[in-house]
Structure 1
Amino acid sequence: MSVADKSQKKSGGLGETVSVIVQALLLALVIRTFLFQPFSIPSGSMRPTLLEGDYLFVTKWAYGYSRHSLPFSPNLFSGRIWGSAPERGDVVVFKFPPNPSLDYIKRVIGLPGDRVQMRDGQLFINGDAVPREKVGEINNPDITEMNRPVDVYRETLPNGVSYDTLDLTPNSIGDNTREFVVPAGHYFMMGDNRDNSTDSRFSVGFVPEENLVGRANIIFFSISEGASPLEIWKWPTAMRPTRIFSAVR
């Protein structure tokens, strides 16, 4: 084989490698933009439903697509394409309205036109109390972040969606609020960890439908103790195997 042949072979091999890498990156971009986006839980605001160290797949097509469906949220268009409204009780990733560079995850509580209020720790929607039943206590710091038992209440929304909430502190600042009237094209979001959640009761405010990124779908990995999934040596003690491949409800 001549020097020229060897050079052409090396050049061809390099070109094929670059082509494969580019195709893989484009495929990953398409999947992330239109199908699924991985998301990690950074805080305890959705405990006990979601824990820090949970890694989720977010369904991107659930509510259609906005500019926030694209990486870096380029201002290419406004509104939503093929938009579909979230249902009450959905767990949603959205862009924080005061700073859209930040991703938040909360539960949809109020739909456009709803009146939402907290009274003595009970949720009211359109003047009606949302059924709230104490179902027990959790005495597990990995779930509650507390070194004591924490009361757990199950709420059932008007459409039948049920989920558990934590009551860390009776009569906390978020247990009694004014009545919020959700504007058209917006949603009222709350965390399941009611006494430790920055949500629509506070600085999040009403969330525009354009800010919706997608619906939390499934937990594909979960690890505790602030460990990284890359720290394989910590998996035997820190991994939460019962949460892996569980649906988000």
Structure 2
Amino acid sequence: MAVYFSIFLVIVTAITGIIWLADKFYLAPQRQLKLAATQAQCEGELSDDVVDKILDAPYFIDTPVQIFPVIAFVLILRSFIYEPFQIPSGSMMPTLLDGDFILVNKFNYGLRDPVLRNKFIEVGLPERGDVVVFKYPQNPQIDYIKRVVGLPGDRVIYKNKILYIKPACLPSDEKCPDFEQVEQTFKNKTDYNDQGMPLTRYTSTMGEKTHDLLVNEQILPRIQHYFKQGGTQANEFAVPQGHYFVMGDNRDNSLDGRFWGFVPEENLVGEAVAIWMSFDFDREPDSFLPRWIPTSVRFSRIGGIE
């Protein structure tokens, strides 16, 4: 859907832009010439109504001319700087909740054209711990949001609900790094639950970034459904060059890289940087109001994303 909207936005911008240029450099000067010719044929000054009638563009010209700057601004903002998204599920709880509306920075990972998404300016690449929006590799029409766990060349193991990462060996390394456990400390039992089973909250640190995650202690790892990759253990993932390994913060309720593999760099949309609005939709089952009508605004959630 987002791709179709981008195409529609580009087409509308192009059409209104062409009309704006035609009016500025040809149609408007022609109206001025017509006004001058009419004035020359009259002995007195033309009334304001007559002048306005001659100079005013017809509605099918004036409307595109008026909306072109707005449409062009929206296209530039949405395509190259920030794009709004809505969180549709709980896979990133507790960092992001269903009903959160977020801003995604599209500049951080390089500028791409809004239709074919070919990168034309290099800016930067994701860092471990970033929350990213990307095109789902198995269906690029769908946008997913997860946290970057593995960078190109890394090896990642998820064992006993704990992450172990072996960073890529760089040419400058005198000795290649070994697997290191990602710091994960117990925080508290929560009110969050998965089909009635309570979830435990942990705080995890990746480099300089700290975030909270949820774990269902009563669910065994679904290793039999993990992405199969030659040369690795069943719970190990070797990140190819140009790809990223991502996971949801709601560890046991997230369809992420453990089950379908890796995110190609060209599928990245941008980094989720802020929650600009958050709605609660909780209501009694017998409520006559539709589910999509918010019950309250969660002002406390508005702000930056860790």
TM-score tier, shorter chain, comes to 0.7 to 0.9
Distance 2:257 2:89 in 1: 16
Q: Identify the residue that residue 98 of structure 1 maps to in structure 2.
A: 138
- The structure whose RCO (Cα within 8 Å, separation 6+) is larger is 1
Q: Identify the residue that residue 267 of structure 2 maps to in structure 1.
A: 211
Determine if the alignment matches structure 1 residue 201 to structure 2 residue 264.
Answer: no
Alpha-carbon shift at residue 36 of structure 1 (Å):
0.5
Q: Deviations over 1:28-65 (max 9, x none)?
A: 00111111100110111100000011111111100102
Distance 1:125 1:35 in 2: 32
Determine if the alignment matches structure 1 residue 130 to structure 2 residue 178.
Answer: no
Q: Normalised by the size of structure 2, how large is the TM-score?
A: 0.68
Residue aligned with 1:86, SS: coil
Query: What amino acid does structure 2 have at the position aligned with 1:206?
Result: F
Q: Normalised by the size of structure 1, how large is the TM-score?
A: 0.82
Question: Which structure would you say has the larger Rg?
Answer: 2
Residue aligned with 1:139, SS: strand
Alpha-carbon shift at residue 145 of structure 1 (Å):
6.0
Residue aligned with 2:259, SS: coil
RMSD: 2.8
Alpha-carbon shift at residue 100 of structure 1 (Å):
1.0
Alpha-carbon shift at residue 188 of structure 1 (Å):
0.4
Distance 1:32 1:156 in 2: 31
Determine if the alignment matches structure 1 residue 172 to structure 2 residue 253.
Answer: no
Distance 2:223 2:53 in 1: 70
Distance 2:212 2:49 in 1: 70
Alpha-carbon shift at residue 173 of structure 1 (Å):
1.6
Determine if the alignment matches structure 1 residue 248 to structure 2 residue 288.
Answer: no
Count, aligned residues:
232
Distance 2:204 2:59 in 1: 60
Alpha-carbon shift at residue 224 of structure 1 (Å):
1.5
Q: Deviations over 1:130-181 (max 9, x none)?
A: 12111002215xxx56656421011112x13111111124423269952100
CA distance 1:6–1:94, shift in 2 (3 Å): same
Q: Identify the residue that residue 62 of structure 1 maps to in structure 2.
A: 108
Alpha-carbon shift at residue 226 of structure 1 (Å):
6.9
Alpha-carbon shift at residue 80 of structure 1 (Å):
5.8
CA distance 1:130–1:56, shift in 2 (3 Å): same
Moved more, 8-17 or 187-196: 8-17
Identical-pair percentage: 41
CA distance 1:151–1:201, shift in 2 (3 Å): same
Which residue of 140, 150, 156 maps to 1:116? 156
Higher normalized helix content (fraction of residues): 2
- Mapping for residues 222-233 of structure 1, pairs under 5 Å: 222-225=278-281
Q: Deviations over 1:98-131 (max 9, x none)?
A: 1111111100000011110111111111122112
Alpha-carbon shift at residue 184 of structure 1 (Å):
0.5
Distance 1:116 1:80 in 2: 31
Q: Identify the residue that residue 241 of structure 2 maps to in structure 1.
A: 184
